A and B are shown apart, each in its own frame.
Chain A
Protein backbone atom coordinates (compact mmCIF):
# COMPACT_ATOMS: atom_id res chain seq x y z
CA UNK A 1 0.00 0.00 0.00
CA UNK A 2 1.40 3.34 -0.97
CA UNK A 3 0.02 6.67 0.12
CA UNK A 4 -1.35 8.62 -2.80
CA UNK A 5 -3.08 11.60 -1.34
CA UNK A 6 -2.40 13.11 2.02
CA UNK A 7 -4.05 16.17 3.54
CA UNK A 8 -2.75 17.51 6.83
CA UNK A 9 -4.48 20.05 9.04
CA UNK A 10 -6.36 21.48 6.12
CA UNK A 11 -8.48 24.54 6.78
CA UNK A 12 -10.29 27.35 5.00
CA UNK A 13 -12.39 30.28 6.13
CA UNK A 14 -14.87 32.30 4.13
CA UNK A 15 -14.94 35.72 5.72
CA UNK A 16 -15.44 34.87 9.40
CA UNK A 17 -16.81 31.39 8.80
CA UNK A 18 -14.43 28.47 9.29
CA UNK A 19 -15.91 26.09 6.72
CA UNK A 20 -13.25 23.42 7.28
CA UNK A 21 -10.51 23.17 9.87
CA UNK A 22 -7.95 20.61 11.01
CA UNK A 23 -8.90 18.21 8.28
CA UNK A 24 -6.67 15.14 7.90
CA UNK A 25 -6.94 12.42 5.30
CA UNK A 26 -4.74 9.71 3.88
CA UNK A 27 -5.72 7.80 0.76
CA UNK A 28 -3.85 4.72 -0.37
CA UNK A 29 -4.10 2.74 -3.59
CA UNK A 30 -7.37 0.85 -3.81
CA UNK A 31 -8.83 2.69 -0.83
CA UNK A 32 -12.54 3.31 -0.88
CA UNK A 33 -13.20 5.92 1.77
CA UNK A 34 -16.46 7.60 2.67
CA UNK A 35 -16.82 11.23 3.72
CA UNK A 36 -20.09 11.87 5.45
CA UNK A 37 -21.76 14.52 7.55
CA UNK A 38 -24.91 16.63 7.77
CA UNK A 39 -25.80 19.47 5.37
CA UNK A 40 -23.29 22.26 5.33
CA UNK A 41 -20.69 20.19 7.21
CA UNK A 42 -18.00 21.12 4.71
CA UNK A 43 -17.76 17.98 2.57
CA UNK A 44 -17.92 19.69 -0.81
CA UNK A 45 -15.52 22.32 0.49
CA UNK A 46 -13.00 19.55 1.23
CA UNK A 47 -13.33 18.42 -2.40
CA UNK A 48 -12.82 21.96 -3.61
CA UNK A 49 -9.66 22.18 -1.50
CA UNK A 50 -8.29 18.87 -2.74
CA UNK A 51 -8.93 19.77 -6.39
CA UNK A 52 -7.45 23.25 -6.29
CA UNK A 53 -10.75 25.10 -6.70
CA UNK A 54 -10.15 26.75 -3.31
CA UNK A 55 -6.75 27.48 -1.82
CA UNK A 56 -6.55 26.36 1.82
CA UNK A 57 -5.80 29.04 4.40
CA UNK A 58 -4.09 26.42 6.59
CA UNK A 59 -2.48 23.03 6.17
CA UNK A 60 -0.89 21.09 3.34
CA UNK A 61 -1.82 18.63 0.59
CA UNK A 62 0.54 16.10 -0.94
CA UNK A 63 0.05 13.88 -3.95
CA UNK A 64 2.48 10.95 -4.05
CA UNK A 65 4.76 12.75 -1.63
CA UNK A 66 4.86 16.06 -3.52
CA UNK A 67 3.13 19.20 -2.37
CA UNK A 68 0.34 20.27 -4.70
CA UNK A 69 -0.43 23.55 -2.99
CA UNK A 70 -1.26 26.46 -5.29
CA UNK A 71 -1.79 24.32 -8.39
CA UNK A 72 -4.71 25.02 -10.71
CA UNK A 73 -7.53 22.46 -11.03
CA UNK A 74 -6.60 21.43 -14.59
CA UNK A 75 -3.01 20.87 -13.51
CA UNK A 76 -4.17 18.67 -10.65
CA UNK A 77 -6.25 16.63 -13.11
CA UNK A 78 -3.11 16.06 -15.10
CA UNK A 79 -1.34 14.92 -11.93
CA UNK A 80 -4.12 12.45 -11.21
CA UNK A 81 -6.96 13.98 -9.18
CA UNK A 82 -10.39 13.72 -10.83
CA UNK A 83 -13.81 14.56 -9.47
CA UNK A 84 -17.53 14.71 -10.08
CA UNK A 85 -19.93 17.39 -8.87
CA UNK A 86 -22.81 17.34 -6.45
CA UNK A 87 -24.97 19.15 -9.01
CA UNK A 88 -24.09 17.32 -12.21
CA UNK A 89 -21.93 19.40 -14.49
CA UNK A 90 -21.91 17.89 -17.96
CA UNK A 91 -21.30 19.56 -21.30
CA UNK A 92 -25.02 19.34 -21.97
CA UNK A 93 -25.34 20.37 -25.58
CA UNK A 94 -22.67 18.11 -27.01
CA UNK A 95 -22.66 14.38 -27.45
CA UNK A 96 -22.04 11.82 -24.74
CA UNK A 97 -18.99 10.65 -26.69
CA UNK A 98 -17.53 14.15 -26.93
CA UNK A 99 -18.07 14.65 -23.20
CA UNK A 100 -15.70 11.77 -22.57
CA UNK A 101 -13.27 12.68 -25.36
CA UNK A 102 -12.79 16.14 -23.83
CA UNK A 103 -11.43 14.56 -20.68
CA UNK A 104 -8.70 12.86 -22.73
CA UNK A 105 -7.44 16.21 -23.98
CA UNK A 106 -4.52 16.58 -21.61
CA UNK A 107 -3.20 13.19 -22.73
CA UNK A 108 -3.34 14.19 -26.40
CA UNK A 109 -0.52 15.60 -28.50
CA UNK A 110 -1.98 16.71 -31.84
CA UNK A 111 -0.95 20.32 -32.47
CA UNK A 112 -3.29 23.08 -33.60
CA UNK A 113 -1.85 23.08 -37.12
CA UNK A 114 -2.03 19.32 -37.34
CA UNK A 115 -5.71 19.49 -36.37
CA UNK A 116 -6.53 22.33 -38.75
CA UNK A 117 -4.74 20.82 -41.73
CA UNK A 118 -5.84 17.28 -40.86
CA UNK A 119 -2.30 15.86 -40.92
CA UNK A 120 -1.94 12.07 -40.49
CA UNK A 121 -1.15 12.41 -36.77
CA UNK A 122 -4.59 13.95 -36.24
CA UNK A 123 -6.46 10.96 -37.62
CA UNK A 124 -4.36 8.45 -35.73
CA UNK A 125 -4.78 10.07 -32.34
CA UNK A 126 -8.45 10.87 -32.91
CA UNK A 127 -9.15 7.23 -33.71
CA UNK A 128 -7.33 5.89 -30.68
CA UNK A 129 -9.11 8.36 -28.36
CA UNK A 130 -12.46 7.43 -29.85
CA UNK A 131 -11.78 3.75 -29.17
CA UNK A 132 -10.74 4.46 -25.59
CA UNK A 133 -13.77 6.69 -25.01
CA UNK A 134 -16.17 4.04 -26.27
CA UNK A 135 -14.51 1.41 -24.09
CA UNK A 136 -15.12 3.62 -21.07
CA UNK A 137 -18.74 4.20 -22.08
CA UNK A 138 -19.18 0.43 -22.24
CA UNK A 139 -18.14 0.08 -18.61
CA UNK A 140 -21.18 2.20 -17.74
CA UNK A 141 -23.48 0.75 -20.40
CA UNK A 142 -23.64 4.13 -22.07
CA UNK A 143 -22.21 3.25 -25.47
CA UNK A 144 -25.64 3.07 -27.06
CA UNK A 145 -26.22 6.72 -26.13
CA UNK A 146 -22.94 7.92 -27.58
CA UNK A 147 -24.51 10.33 -30.10
CA UNK A 148 -27.14 11.68 -27.70
CA UNK A 149 -26.70 15.16 -26.34
CA UNK A 150 -25.53 14.65 -22.77
CA UNK A 151 -28.32 16.86 -21.47
CA UNK A 152 -30.94 14.53 -22.96
CA UNK A 153 -29.84 11.52 -20.91
CA UNK A 154 -31.98 10.40 -18.00
CA UNK A 155 -30.73 11.64 -14.66
CA UNK A 156 -29.14 8.40 -13.50
CA UNK A 157 -27.23 8.02 -16.77
CA UNK A 158 -25.96 11.58 -16.48
CA UNK A 159 -24.44 10.74 -13.09
CA UNK A 160 -22.73 7.73 -14.66
CA UNK A 161 -21.48 9.76 -17.60
CA UNK A 162 -19.92 12.22 -15.22
CA UNK A 163 -18.01 9.39 -13.57
CA UNK A 164 -16.95 8.05 -16.97
CA UNK A 165 -15.68 11.49 -17.90
CA UNK A 166 -13.70 11.74 -14.67
CA UNK A 167 -12.18 8.31 -15.31
CA UNK A 168 -11.16 9.36 -18.80
CA UNK A 169 -8.66 11.77 -17.28
CA UNK A 170 -6.77 8.67 -16.06
CA UNK A 171 -6.84 9.54 -12.35
CA UNK A 172 -5.02 8.08 -9.39
CA UNK A 173 -7.62 9.50 -7.03
CA UNK A 174 -11.30 9.85 -7.82
CA UNK A 175 -13.49 12.15 -5.74
CA UNK A 176 -17.22 11.50 -6.06
CA UNK A 177 -19.58 14.11 -4.63
CA UNK A 178 -22.91 12.43 -3.79
CA UNK A 179 -22.95 10.22 -6.89
CA UNK A 180 -26.21 8.57 -5.79
CA UNK A 181 -28.11 11.80 -5.11
CA UNK A 182 -31.56 11.68 -6.66
CA UNK A 183 -31.32 8.01 -7.59
CA UNK A 184 -33.87 5.43 -6.52
CA UNK A 185 -33.04 2.36 -4.44
CA UNK A 186 -32.14 -0.01 -7.30
CA UNK A 187 -30.16 2.61 -9.19
CA UNK A 188 -28.20 3.40 -6.04
CA UNK A 189 -27.27 -0.24 -5.46
CA UNK A 190 -26.27 -0.66 -9.08
CA UNK A 191 -24.09 2.41 -8.82
CA UNK A 192 -22.42 1.19 -5.66
CA UNK A 193 -21.52 -2.04 -7.46
CA UNK A 194 -20.11 -0.04 -10.34
CA UNK A 195 -18.02 2.07 -7.98
CA UNK A 196 -16.52 -1.01 -6.38
CA UNK A 197 -15.90 -2.42 -9.84
CA UNK A 198 -14.06 0.65 -11.13
CA UNK A 199 -11.94 0.84 -8.00
CA UNK A 200 -10.70 -2.69 -8.74
CA UNK A 201 -10.50 -2.40 -12.50
CA UNK A 202 -8.71 0.96 -12.65
CA UNK A 203 -6.73 0.46 -9.47
CA UNK A 204 -7.47 3.87 -8.02
CA UNK A 205 -8.31 5.37 -4.66
CA UNK A 206 -11.84 6.65 -4.28
CA UNK A 207 -13.15 9.22 -1.83
CA UNK A 208 -16.91 9.27 -1.76
CA UNK A 209 -19.24 11.85 -0.27
CA UNK A 210 -22.59 10.44 0.65
CA UNK A 211 -25.44 11.70 2.74
CA UNK A 212 -26.89 8.33 3.46
CA UNK A 213 -25.09 6.67 6.33
CA UNK A 214 -26.38 3.13 5.65
CA UNK A 215 -25.39 3.30 2.07
CA UNK A 216 -21.88 4.47 2.72
CA UNK A 217 -21.25 1.90 5.45
CA UNK A 218 -22.23 -0.75 2.91
CA UNK A 219 -19.40 -0.07 0.51
CA UNK A 220 -16.67 2.00 2.17
CA UNK A 221 -13.85 0.39 4.11
CA UNK A 222 -13.13 3.54 6.06
CA UNK A 223 -15.29 6.51 6.90
CA UNK A 224 -14.56 10.06 7.95
CA UNK A 225 -17.35 12.06 9.56
CA UNK A 226 -17.45 15.84 9.33
CA UNK A 227 -19.54 18.21 11.39
CA UNK A 228 -19.23 21.99 11.30
CA UNK A 229 -16.03 21.64 9.31
CA UNK A 230 -14.30 19.36 11.83
CA UNK A 231 -13.65 15.64 11.80
CA UNK A 232 -15.69 14.12 14.61
CA UNK A 233 -14.96 10.48 13.83
CA UNK A 234 -12.77 8.39 11.58
CA UNK A 235 -12.36 4.66 11.22
CA UNK A 236 -14.04 1.42 10.19
CA UNK A 237 -17.76 1.62 9.41
CA UNK A 238 -18.68 -0.33 12.56
CA UNK A 239 -16.63 1.94 14.80
CA UNK A 240 -18.03 5.04 13.20
CA UNK A 241 -21.71 4.18 13.44
CA UNK A 242 -21.32 3.28 17.09
CA UNK A 243 -19.43 6.47 17.90
CA UNK A 244 -21.54 8.54 20.34
CA UNK A 245 -20.63 11.84 18.63
CA UNK A 246 -21.77 10.51 15.28
CA UNK A 247 -25.00 9.17 16.76
CA UNK A 248 -25.71 12.53 18.33
CA UNK A 249 -25.09 14.42 15.08
CA UNK A 250 -27.20 12.05 13.05
CA UNK A 251 -30.03 11.92 15.57
CA UNK A 252 -30.14 15.68 15.67
CA UNK A 253 -30.40 15.60 11.90
CA UNK A 254 -33.61 14.38 10.33
CA UNK A 255 -31.85 12.07 7.89
Chain B
Protein backbone atom coordinates (compact mmCIF):
# COMPACT_ATOMS: atom_id res chain seq x y z
CA UNK B 1 0.00 0.00 0.00
CA UNK B 2 2.95 2.28 0.66
CA UNK B 3 4.12 1.98 -2.93
CA UNK B 4 0.58 2.65 -4.08
CA UNK B 5 0.47 5.94 -2.20
CA UNK B 6 3.87 6.89 -3.54
CA UNK B 7 2.68 6.12 -7.07
CA UNK B 8 -0.39 8.30 -6.67
CA UNK B 9 1.65 11.22 -5.40
CA UNK B 10 4.28 10.88 -8.14
CA UNK B 11 1.64 10.55 -10.84
CA UNK B 12 -0.27 13.58 -9.59
CA UNK B 13 2.91 15.65 -9.56
CA UNK B 14 3.81 14.60 -13.10
CA UNK B 15 0.33 15.42 -14.36
CA UNK B 16 0.58 18.90 -12.83
CA UNK B 17 4.02 19.35 -14.38
CA UNK B 18 2.68 18.23 -17.75
CA UNK B 19 -0.07 20.85 -17.59
CA UNK B 20 2.38 23.58 -16.57
CA UNK B 21 4.56 22.62 -19.53
CA UNK B 22 1.55 22.61 -21.84
CA UNK B 23 0.51 26.01 -20.53
CA UNK B 24 3.98 27.48 -20.99
CA UNK B 25 4.22 26.13 -24.51
CA UNK B 26 0.79 27.48 -25.45
CA UNK B 27 1.21 30.93 -23.94
CA UNK B 28 4.80 31.15 -25.14
CA UNK B 29 3.54 30.61 -28.67
CA UNK B 30 5.72 27.54 -29.10
CA UNK B 31 2.85 25.57 -30.57
CA UNK B 32 1.95 26.44 -34.12
CA UNK B 33 -1.62 25.70 -35.21
CA UNK B 34 -0.33 22.67 -37.01
CA UNK B 35 1.36 21.27 -33.93
CA UNK B 36 -1.74 21.90 -31.86
CA UNK B 37 -3.72 19.72 -34.23
CA UNK B 38 -0.97 17.11 -34.12
CA UNK B 39 -1.31 16.99 -30.33
CA UNK B 40 -5.07 16.55 -30.64
CA UNK B 41 -4.62 13.75 -33.16
CA UNK B 42 -2.06 12.21 -30.87
CA UNK B 43 -4.51 12.26 -27.96
CA UNK B 44 -7.19 10.65 -30.12
CA UNK B 45 -4.79 7.92 -31.26
CA UNK B 46 -3.62 7.27 -27.71
CA UNK B 47 -7.21 6.78 -26.56
CA UNK B 48 -7.91 4.50 -29.53
CA UNK B 49 -4.76 2.47 -28.88
CA UNK B 50 -5.24 1.95 -25.13
CA UNK B 51 -8.90 1.09 -25.59
CA UNK B 52 -8.19 -1.48 -28.30
CA UNK B 53 -5.40 -2.86 -26.14
CA UNK B 54 -7.99 -3.84 -23.55
CA UNK B 55 -9.59 -6.21 -26.06
CA UNK B 56 -6.57 -7.28 -28.07
CA UNK B 57 -3.80 -7.17 -25.49
CA UNK B 58 -5.40 -7.75 -22.13
CA UNK B 59 -8.24 -10.05 -23.22
CA UNK B 60 -6.27 -11.48 -26.13
CA UNK B 61 -8.92 -11.20 -28.84
CA UNK B 62 -8.13 -9.58 -32.15
CA UNK B 63 -10.67 -6.95 -33.17
CA UNK B 64 -10.62 -5.37 -36.61
CA UNK B 65 -13.41 -2.83 -36.36
CA UNK B 66 -12.25 -0.26 -33.85
CA UNK B 67 -12.72 2.56 -36.35
CA UNK B 68 -16.36 1.50 -36.60
CA UNK B 69 -16.95 2.23 -32.92
CA UNK B 70 -15.01 5.44 -33.30
CA UNK B 71 -17.35 6.51 -36.07
CA UNK B 72 -20.45 5.79 -33.98
CA UNK B 73 -19.10 7.98 -31.18
CA UNK B 74 -18.06 10.66 -33.65
CA UNK B 75 -21.42 10.96 -35.41
CA UNK B 76 -23.44 10.68 -32.19
CA UNK B 77 -21.47 13.37 -30.36
CA UNK B 78 -21.42 15.65 -33.42
CA UNK B 79 -25.18 15.34 -33.95
CA UNK B 80 -25.83 16.09 -30.29
CA UNK B 81 -23.75 19.27 -30.19
CA UNK B 82 -25.09 20.36 -33.59
CA UNK B 83 -28.65 19.95 -32.33
CA UNK B 84 -27.84 21.78 -29.13
CA UNK B 85 -26.15 24.65 -30.96
CA UNK B 86 -29.01 24.95 -33.42
CA UNK B 87 -31.64 25.08 -30.67
CA UNK B 88 -29.95 27.06 -27.91
CA UNK B 89 -26.95 28.68 -29.55
CA UNK B 90 -25.82 31.99 -28.17
CA UNK B 91 -22.25 31.79 -29.48
CA UNK B 92 -20.52 29.31 -31.76
CA UNK B 93 -18.56 27.90 -28.83
CA UNK B 94 -19.73 24.51 -27.56
CA UNK B 95 -20.10 24.71 -23.76
CA UNK B 96 -17.68 22.32 -22.03
CA UNK B 97 -20.48 20.52 -20.18
CA UNK B 98 -22.40 19.83 -23.38
CA UNK B 99 -19.22 18.67 -25.09
CA UNK B 100 -18.41 16.18 -22.33
CA UNK B 101 -22.00 14.93 -22.20
CA UNK B 102 -21.99 14.50 -25.98
CA UNK B 103 -18.75 12.50 -25.80
CA UNK B 104 -20.13 10.26 -23.07
CA UNK B 105 -23.39 9.62 -24.93
CA UNK B 106 -21.34 8.87 -28.06
CA UNK B 107 -19.29 6.42 -26.01
CA UNK B 108 -22.39 4.80 -24.53
CA UNK B 109 -23.99 4.27 -27.93
CA UNK B 110 -20.74 2.79 -29.24
CA UNK B 111 -20.66 0.54 -26.15
CA UNK B 112 -24.24 -0.56 -26.74
CA UNK B 113 -23.48 -1.45 -30.36
CA UNK B 114 -20.36 -3.21 -29.06
CA UNK B 115 -22.57 -5.34 -26.83
CA UNK B 116 -24.83 -6.34 -29.70
CA UNK B 117 -21.92 -7.09 -32.03
CA UNK B 118 -19.61 -8.65 -29.46
CA UNK B 119 -21.87 -10.92 -27.44
CA UNK B 120 -22.67 -13.47 -30.17
CA UNK B 121 -19.03 -13.66 -31.26
CA UNK B 122 -17.66 -13.85 -27.72
CA UNK B 123 -20.02 -16.63 -26.66
CA UNK B 124 -17.92 -18.89 -28.84
CA UNK B 125 -14.40 -19.95 -28.06
CA UNK B 126 -11.96 -18.90 -30.78
CA UNK B 127 -11.18 -15.93 -32.97
CA UNK B 128 -14.63 -15.14 -34.26
CA UNK B 129 -14.43 -11.58 -33.01
CA UNK B 130 -11.93 -10.59 -35.71
CA UNK B 131 -14.28 -11.58 -38.52
CA UNK B 132 -17.41 -10.19 -36.89
CA UNK B 133 -15.84 -6.80 -36.11
CA UNK B 134 -14.36 -6.58 -39.60
CA UNK B 135 -17.79 -7.05 -41.13
CA UNK B 136 -19.47 -4.78 -38.60
CA UNK B 137 -17.20 -1.80 -39.33
CA UNK B 138 -17.88 -2.06 -43.05
CA UNK B 139 -21.63 -2.29 -42.49
CA UNK B 140 -21.60 0.77 -40.21
CA UNK B 141 -19.70 2.70 -42.85
CA UNK B 142 -22.21 1.80 -45.55
CA UNK B 143 -25.15 2.67 -43.27
CA UNK B 144 -23.67 6.08 -42.43
CA UNK B 145 -23.20 6.81 -46.13
CA UNK B 146 -26.76 5.72 -46.85
CA UNK B 147 -28.56 7.67 -44.14
CA UNK B 148 -29.60 11.31 -44.53
CA UNK B 149 -29.18 12.69 -41.03
CA UNK B 150 -25.53 11.63 -41.02
CA UNK B 151 -24.86 13.72 -44.08
CA UNK B 152 -24.64 10.66 -46.33
CA UNK B 153 -21.66 10.29 -48.62
CA UNK B 154 -21.06 14.06 -48.64
CA UNK B 155 -20.25 13.90 -44.98
CA UNK B 156 -21.49 15.71 -41.90
CA UNK B 157 -20.51 19.38 -42.06
CA UNK B 158 -20.66 22.36 -39.76
CA UNK B 159 -19.78 20.59 -36.55
CA UNK B 160 -18.87 23.13 -33.90
CA UNK B 161 -15.23 22.90 -33.10
CA UNK B 162 -13.72 22.12 -29.78
CA UNK B 163 -9.94 22.26 -29.89
CA UNK B 164 -9.07 23.29 -26.36
CA UNK B 165 -5.82 21.42 -25.70
CA UNK B 166 -6.18 21.50 -21.91
CA UNK B 167 -9.53 19.79 -22.13
CA UNK B 168 -8.45 17.19 -24.67
CA UNK B 169 -5.21 16.36 -22.86
CA UNK B 170 -7.13 16.11 -19.58
CA UNK B 171 -9.67 13.71 -21.08
CA UNK B 172 -6.85 11.61 -22.51
CA UNK B 173 -5.14 11.42 -19.13
CA UNK B 174 -8.39 10.42 -17.46
CA UNK B 175 -8.86 7.63 -20.02
CA UNK B 176 -5.30 6.40 -19.46
CA UNK B 177 -5.88 6.47 -15.70
CA UNK B 178 -9.10 4.50 -16.06
CA UNK B 179 -7.46 1.88 -18.26
CA UNK B 180 -4.66 1.36 -15.76
CA UNK B 181 -7.03 1.13 -12.80
CA UNK B 182 -9.28 -1.25 -14.71
CA UNK B 183 -6.27 -3.39 -15.60
CA UNK B 184 -5.34 -3.64 -11.93
CA UNK B 185 -8.65 -4.56 -10.40
CA UNK B 186 -10.70 -7.70 -10.00
CA UNK B 187 -12.22 -7.08 -13.42
CA UNK B 188 -8.80 -6.62 -15.01
CA UNK B 189 -7.49 -9.78 -13.39
CA UNK B 190 -10.50 -11.73 -14.60
CA UNK B 191 -9.99 -10.46 -18.16
CA UNK B 192 -6.28 -11.36 -18.05
CA UNK B 193 -7.10 -14.83 -16.75
CA UNK B 194 -9.18 -15.45 -19.88
CA UNK B 195 -6.22 -14.50 -22.07
CA UNK B 196 -3.98 -16.81 -20.05
CA UNK B 197 -6.27 -19.84 -20.06
CA UNK B 198 -9.97 -19.63 -20.76
CA UNK B 199 -10.76 -23.11 -19.44
CA UNK B 200 -8.85 -22.54 -16.20
CA UNK B 201 -10.56 -19.16 -15.80
CA UNK B 202 -13.98 -20.73 -16.11
CA UNK B 203 -12.94 -23.41 -13.60
CA UNK B 204 -11.83 -20.69 -11.19
CA UNK B 205 -15.30 -19.23 -11.15
CA UNK B 206 -14.80 -16.57 -13.81
CA UNK B 207 -17.85 -15.97 -15.96
CA UNK B 208 -15.81 -15.85 -19.13
CA UNK B 209 -18.57 -14.74 -21.49
CA UNK B 210 -19.47 -11.86 -19.18
CA UNK B 211 -15.90 -10.66 -18.77
CA UNK B 212 -15.04 -11.02 -22.45
CA UNK B 213 -18.07 -8.95 -23.32
CA UNK B 214 -17.25 -6.44 -20.60
CA UNK B 215 -13.74 -5.89 -21.97
CA UNK B 216 -15.02 -5.48 -25.50
CA UNK B 217 -17.81 -3.11 -24.52
CA UNK B 218 -15.46 -0.90 -22.48
CA UNK B 219 -13.11 -0.85 -25.48
CA UNK B 220 -15.96 0.26 -27.72
CA UNK B 221 -16.98 2.94 -25.21
CA UNK B 222 -13.58 4.60 -25.25
CA UNK B 223 -13.30 4.28 -29.03
CA UNK B 224 -16.58 6.20 -29.11
CA UNK B 225 -15.08 8.90 -26.86
CA UNK B 226 -12.10 9.18 -29.20
CA UNK B 227 -14.52 9.54 -32.10
CA UNK B 228 -16.33 12.40 -30.35
CA UNK B 229 -13.08 14.26 -29.80
CA UNK B 230 -12.15 13.67 -33.42
CA UNK B 231 -15.48 15.00 -34.72
CA UNK B 232 -15.13 18.26 -32.79
CA UNK B 233 -11.52 18.76 -33.76
CA UNK B 234 -12.16 18.30 -37.50
CA UNK B 235 -15.51 20.04 -37.81
CA UNK B 236 -16.45 17.64 -40.60
CA UNK B 237 -16.97 13.89 -40.77
CA UNK B 238 -16.93 11.51 -43.70
CA UNK B 239 -17.65 7.82 -43.32
CA UNK B 240 -14.71 6.67 -45.37
CA UNK B 241 -12.19 8.02 -42.81
CA UNK B 242 -13.39 5.21 -40.56
CA UNK B 243 -12.59 2.44 -43.00
CA UNK B 244 -10.66 -0.77 -42.58
CA UNK B 245 -7.28 0.97 -42.85
CA UNK B 246 -8.03 3.11 -39.80
CA UNK B 247 -8.86 -0.01 -37.78
CA UNK B 248 -5.64 -1.62 -38.95
CA UNK B 249 -3.68 1.49 -38.01
CA UNK B 250 -5.03 1.30 -34.45
CA UNK B 251 -4.21 -2.39 -34.29
CA UNK B 252 -0.66 -1.59 -35.40
CA UNK B 253 -0.26 0.83 -32.47
CA UNK B 254 -1.23 -1.99 -30.11
CA UNK B 255 0.86 -4.74 -31.67
CA UNK B 256 3.92 -2.57 -32.15
CA UNK B 257 3.78 -1.20 -28.62
CA UNK B 258 3.30 -4.65 -27.16
CA UNK B 259 -0.16 -6.08 -26.80
CA UNK B 260 -1.07 -6.21 -23.15
CA UNK B 261 1.00 -3.14 -22.25
CA UNK B 262 -0.88 0.17 -22.03
CA UNK B 263 2.49 1.89 -21.84
CA UNK B 264 3.41 0.31 -25.16
CA UNK B 265 0.16 1.40 -26.82
CA UNK B 266 0.69 4.97 -25.65
CA UNK B 267 4.30 5.15 -26.81
CA UNK B 268 3.55 3.52 -30.17
CA UNK B 269 0.55 5.78 -30.80
CA UNK B 270 2.61 8.88 -30.00
CA UNK B 271 5.58 7.80 -32.14
CA UNK B 272 3.49 6.80 -35.11
CA UNK B 273 1.47 10.02 -34.98
CA UNK B 274 4.41 12.36 -34.58
CA UNK B 275 6.85 10.67 -36.97
CA UNK B 276 4.83 11.29 -40.15
CA UNK B 277 4.54 14.96 -39.11
CA UNK B 278 8.26 15.33 -38.60
CA UNK B 279 9.23 13.44 -41.71
CA UNK B 280 6.90 14.81 -44.30
CA UNK B 281 8.23 12.57 -47.07
CA UNK B 282 7.48 9.62 -44.86
CA UNK B 283 3.82 10.62 -44.57
CA UNK B 284 3.00 9.42 -48.09
CA UNK B 285 4.39 5.99 -47.37
CA UNK B 286 2.93 5.79 -43.88
CA UNK B 287 1.02 2.55 -44.27
CA UNK B 288 3.94 0.98 -46.15
CA UNK B 289 6.37 1.94 -43.40
CA UNK B 290 3.94 0.63 -40.76
CA UNK B 291 3.79 -2.70 -42.52
CA UNK B 292 7.57 -2.93 -42.75
CA UNK B 293 7.88 -1.99 -39.08
CA UNK B 294 5.37 -4.67 -38.22
CA UNK B 295 7.23 -7.34 -40.18
CA UNK B 296 10.56 -6.36 -38.63
CA UNK B 297 8.95 -6.41 -35.21
CA UNK B 298 7.45 -9.85 -35.76
CA UNK B 299 10.89 -11.17 -36.66
CA UNK B 300 12.94 -9.58 -33.89
CA UNK B 301 10.51 -8.96 -31.02
CA UNK B 302 7.08 -10.49 -31.63
CA UNK B 303 5.80 -9.33 -28.25
CA UNK B 304 6.13 -5.65 -29.27
CA UNK B 305 8.40 -2.90 -27.94
CA UNK B 306 7.25 -3.23 -24.35
CA UNK B 307 6.00 -6.79 -24.31
CA UNK B 308 3.61 -6.71 -21.37
CA UNK B 309 5.70 -4.32 -19.33
CA UNK B 310 4.02 -1.29 -17.76
CA UNK B 311 5.84 1.92 -16.97
CA UNK B 312 5.46 3.15 -13.41
CA UNK B 313 7.19 6.03 -11.68
CA UNK B 314 7.69 3.87 -8.60
CA UNK B 315 8.69 0.53 -10.09
CA UNK B 316 10.45 1.42 -13.33
CA UNK B 317 13.51 2.96 -11.63
CA UNK B 318 13.75 -0.18 -9.46
CA UNK B 319 13.41 -2.42 -12.51
CA UNK B 320 16.14 -0.53 -14.33
CA UNK B 321 18.42 -0.82 -11.31
CA UNK B 322 17.68 -4.52 -11.03
CA UNK B 323 18.33 -4.98 -14.74
CA UNK B 324 21.78 -3.42 -14.53
CA UNK B 325 22.59 -5.24 -11.30
CA UNK B 326 21.80 -8.48 -13.07
CA UNK B 327 23.99 -7.56 -16.03
CA UNK B 328 27.02 -6.79 -13.89
CA UNK B 329 26.42 -9.95 -11.92
CA UNK B 330 26.29 -11.93 -15.14
CA UNK B 331 29.59 -10.42 -16.19
CA UNK B 332 31.09 -11.63 -12.94
CA UNK B 333 29.83 -15.06 -13.86
CA UNK B 334 27.35 -15.32 -11.04
CA UNK B 335 24.31 -17.49 -11.54
CA UNK B 336 21.08 -15.58 -11.40
CA UNK B 337 17.73 -17.24 -11.82
CA UNK B 338 15.48 -14.90 -9.94
CA UNK B 339 13.74 -13.02 -12.72
CA UNK B 340 10.48 -12.06 -11.14
CA UNK B 341 9.21 -8.54 -11.31
CA UNK B 342 6.94 -6.92 -8.81
CA UNK B 343 4.21 -5.07 -10.53
Chain A interface (Cβ < 8 Å from any Cβ of B):
51, 53, 72-75, 77-78, 82-83, 85, 89-95, 98, 101-106, 108, 110, 112, 115-118, 122, 125-127, 129, 147-149, 152, 165-166, 168-169
Contact = CB atoms under 8 A, between A and B. Distances in A.
A93 B178 contact: no
Given A91-B196, A93-B196, A102-B190, A110 B185 contact: yes
Contacts of B1: 127
A126 B189 CA distance: 12
Contacts of B200: 85, 89-91
Contacts, number: 108
Nearest to B194: A91
A168 B186 CA distance: 14
A51 B181 contact: no
B343 A89 contact: no
21 contacts: A53-B199, A74-B203, A74-B207, A77-B203, A78-B205, A82-B203, A92-B197, A94-B192, A94-B196, A98-B192, A102-B193, A102-B206, A104-B186, A112-B182, A112-B218, A122-B185, A126-B185, A126-B186, A147-B341, A147-B343, A152-B340
Nearest to B185: A115
Given A83-B203, A102-B193, A105-B204, A148 B340 contact: yes
B20 to A, nearest CB: 25
Given A73-B202, A89-B199, A115-B181, A110 B193 contact: no
A95 B343 contact: yes
Contacts of B218: 112
Given A74-B203, A90-B200, A112-B182, 16 more contacts: A53-B199, A72-B207, A74-B205, A74-B206, A77-B205, A91-B196, A94-B189, A95-B340, A98-B192, A102-B190, A108-B186, A115-B181, A118-B181, A125-B186, A147-B341, A152-B340
A91 B192 contact: yes
A116 B341 contact: no
A65 to B, nearest CB: 22
Contacts of B214: 112
Given A74-B205, A105-B205, A169-B205, A152 B193 contact: no
* Size bin of chain B's contact surface: 20 to 34
B189 A98 contact: yes
B153 interface: no
Contacts of B201: 91, 102
A204 B191 CA distance: 29
B247 interface: no
B204 A77 contact: yes
Nearest to A115: B185
Contact of A91 (B187, B193, B342, B343): B193
A103 B207 CA distance: 11
Given A91-B192, A116-B181, A169 B204 contact: yes
Contacts of B341: 147
Contacts of B246: none
B187 A115 contact: yes
A93 B260 CA distance: 11
